Amino acid sequence: MPDQPALLSYPDPPLTDGTVMLRRWAESDIGCVEEASRDPHIPEGTTVPARFTTADGLAWIERQWGRADNGEGLSLAIADAGSDNALGAVVLMFRRQPGIAEIGYWLVERARGRRLASRAVALVARWALTDAPLARVEALVEPENIASQRVLESVGFQREGHLRSYLVFNERRADAFIYSLLPGDLT
C-alpha cells in the first residue's frame, strides 16, 4: 500500500492544459474574490465573504495559503493560462480517513459555460491520484446542481449515493449526491 501524504505541496511546475493553469493564490487575485462574493451560490457553500471588504478578501486569500501550510489540503486558483487572470478556485480538503480528499470548485460567473471547471477538476484530480498520491477524491453536490454533476461525470467521477439532509448552510440543510474518483477510474 503506498504511503498516504500528510501534506499536499503545490504542484511544481503548476498544472496546466494550455487553457487553464492551477496556481497558488496571490494578493493580486483579490478582484476574483470580490466577484465571487457577489454570486449568491459561492459564499453559501464556501468561506468566500458574502459582504466583500478588502480586508475580508485578503483574509480569504491568506486562508487559502493556510490550507497547504496547516495540512488541511490545498487550494489553487483556476487562472486563464494566457493572461494569468484568476477565474475561480479548486480546493482539495483532507477527510478524516487517510488518503481521501474532498474536492470543491467554483468559477466567477463570466468564466462559466466554457468547461473550464471540468478542465481544472480533471487536472487536479489526476494529479491528486497519481502524483500526490491519494487513494480517493470525493465530491458532494446538491441534487439540483446539474452543472456541477456534469463537471464531475465528465472527469470520470462515479455517483455512489444520495445523502439525505447532509449539507449544512447558514440557513438551510440540503441533500447531497456523493461522487468519487479512484486511480482506476482515470482514463
**12-41 mask for ligand COA (x: CB under 6 A)?**
-----------------------------x
- Determine if 106 is a binding residue for ligand COA (CB under 6 A): yes
* Residue 41 identity (one-letter amino acid): H
**CA neighbor of 107 nearest in space, from 118, 95, 98:** 118
Q: Residue with the closest Cβ to ligand COA?
A: 112
Among 146, 160, 165, 186, binds ligand COA (CB under 6 A): 146
End-to-end Cα, the chain, rounded Å = 22
Would you say 180 and 157 are in contact if contact means Cβ atoms under 8 Å apart? yes
The grid cell for 1 is 500500500
- Determine if 89 is a binding residue for ligand COA (CB under 6 A): no
What are the backbone dihedrals phi and psi of residue 66, each rounded to the nearest 5 degrees, phi first?
-65, -25
Q: Which one of the spans 24-32, 139-147, 158-166, 167-175 is the region binding ligand COA (CB under 6 A)?
A: 139-147
Q: Give the integer Cα–Cα distance in Å for 40 and 51.
A: 10
Number of residues binding to ligand COA, judged by CB under 6 A: 20
Q: Which one of the spans 4-12, 75-83, 141-149, 165-173 is the region binding ligand COA (CB under 6 A)?
A: 141-149
Question: How crowded is the C-beta side of 131, counted as CA atoms within 13 Å?
Answer: 14
Q: Which one of the spans 52-60, 68-76, 108-116, 165-173 is the region binding ligand COA (CB under 6 A)?
A: 108-116
Gyration radius from the chain CA atoms: 16
Residue ranges in contact with ligand COA by CB under 6 A? 41-42, 45, 105-107, 112-113, 115-118, 141, 145-148, 150-151, 154
